[in-house]
Each structure stands twice: as C-alpha cells, then as structure tokens.
Amino acid sequence: MSMALKQVFNKDRTFRPKRKFEPGTQRFDLHKKAQASLNAGLDLKQAVQLPHGEDLNDWVAVHVVDFFNRINLIYGTISDSCTDQTCPVMSGGPKYEYRWQDEHKYKRPTALSAPKYMSLLMDWIEVQINNENIFPTNVGTPFPKCFMQVAKKILSRLFRVFVHVYIHHFDRVTQMGAEAHVNTCYKHFYYFVTEFNLTDHKELEPLKEMTARMCH
C-alpha cells in the first residue's frame, strides 16, 4: 500500500466510527480468527468457509460488521468526487438505478443522489448492527428468526456501493493506487455472499463480467 493511500485509509475518512467487537467476547474471537486467516494469505475462497464447530449466525454477523467497516472506508476515500452534481442518481451505469426505501421517511422507492443514498444506507446499517435484538453481543443470547433476512438485505445494499464505486469512480480509486485493496475487498465479499447464498443473483448482475474475470 502506498504512503498516500495509507494516509487516506488511516484517516478513517468514514461517515461513521467503526463498529468494534468487545475483547473477550465470542464474536471478538471469531473476528480475530477471520482476520488471521486473511493475514496468513489463505485463499479467499477458503477463508470465508465456516470454521469447524462455529455457528453460522455468528460467522455471518462478524462478516457483516467487517464488510460495513471496510466498504464504508472505501466509499469514504472517493466521497470527495461523489457529489450531488457528479452523481445526481444512485446508479451503476445506465442500466441500473437504485432507489432508497425505508420504514420511516421513504416509504416508497425514491430516486436520490448517490451521496444522499450512501448516507442513508450507512445510517440504516449502523442502526441494524447496533440493535441488540438483531445483532446480540452476549454469548448465549439467541439470534432472532429475522437475522438472516436482515443480514441479506444489508449485504445486498452494500454490494450496490461496490457497483457505484467500480462503475463511476474507479478512475479515482486507480489514481490513489487503491485498486488492489478494493479488488481484494470485493473478492472477499463476493466469495462470502456466494458461499452462503446471501445475495440474490440479480443483485450481482451489474458486475458480472468483472467478477468473472476477477473471481473465477
């Protein structure tokens, strides 16, 4: 990683403070296990597999939080070139437009600029992962029945950040020398969601050709 890039990533230019796992918790140990396998240079396809004896919900919860932190950071590094003027629509090229919908202000799918969409998305994910009723942190507290459904929705929406960054801002990523970092993060994300069938194939369409080159 170049010095310039290190400075950018070290600035933590995210919208949000990173969600951290509490040391001593089972989730923290799993997080460390996941990081160790990545740092050991293990094949990403192997690194995403559920470790023997571990609970799938725990494994997914750890990765959802990690991907949120990392994708948030990636978007933060290009956010100065993603404005209401440059990106008046949250899209992935001419064929794909993403509209925002939530339970509060936007009850119907609404066209928004990319930065507005991203801000609402990061806010919404942060609320989900900090909700003890959905992402319990205490060992022994069971996950709710809706957990996987919420995790899938978060991951599908995070995938849209990759789509927007790759299609509209990859020149900025390249300019900063960050493409290897972003590509690795993307491959890790792609292998994870496909290993556990966490994202609809239709969602993956916009980056299909790039993914075929990069991940197969």
Retrieve residue 195's tokens.
């290993």
What pLDDT, on a 0 to 100 scale, did the predictor assign at position 107?
93
Any known ligand binding at 146?
Answer: no
Place of tokens 């949250």: 90
Residue range 72-83: average pLDDT? Answer: 92
Which one, of 188, 194, 186, lies nearest residue 75 by Cα? 186
Main-chain dihedrals φ then ψ at residue 54, nearest 5 degrees:
-95, 155
CB atoms within 10 A of CB 12: 13
What pLDDT, on a 0 to 100 scale, did the predictor assign at position 19?
58
pLDDT at 1 over 50: no
Any known ligand binding at 104?
Answer: no
Query: In angstroms, how far is the first alpha carbon of the chain from the final one?
Result: 25
Residue range 65-85: average pLDDT? Answer: 93
Q: The domain containing residue 129 runs over which residues?
A: 3-81+115-215
Residue 62 in any domain: the answer is yes
Residue range 157-177: average pLDDT? Answer: 95
The CA distance from 202 to 204, in Å, is 5
Written as one letter, the residue type at 126 is E
Task: Work out how many domains the chain is built from and give that number.
Answer: 1
Lowest pLDDT segment from 88-102, 130-144, 192-206: 130-144
Residue 93 in any domain: the answer is no
Give me the CATH number covering residue 205: 1.20.140.30
Any known ligand binding at 188?
Answer: no
Any known ligand binding at 52?
Answer: no
pTM score, two decimals? Answer: 0.85
Most confident of the following: 27-31, 116-120, 135-139, 173-177:
116-120
- pLDDT per residue over 84-135, tens digit each? 999 999 999 899 999 999 988 999 999 999 999 999 999 999 999 999 999 9
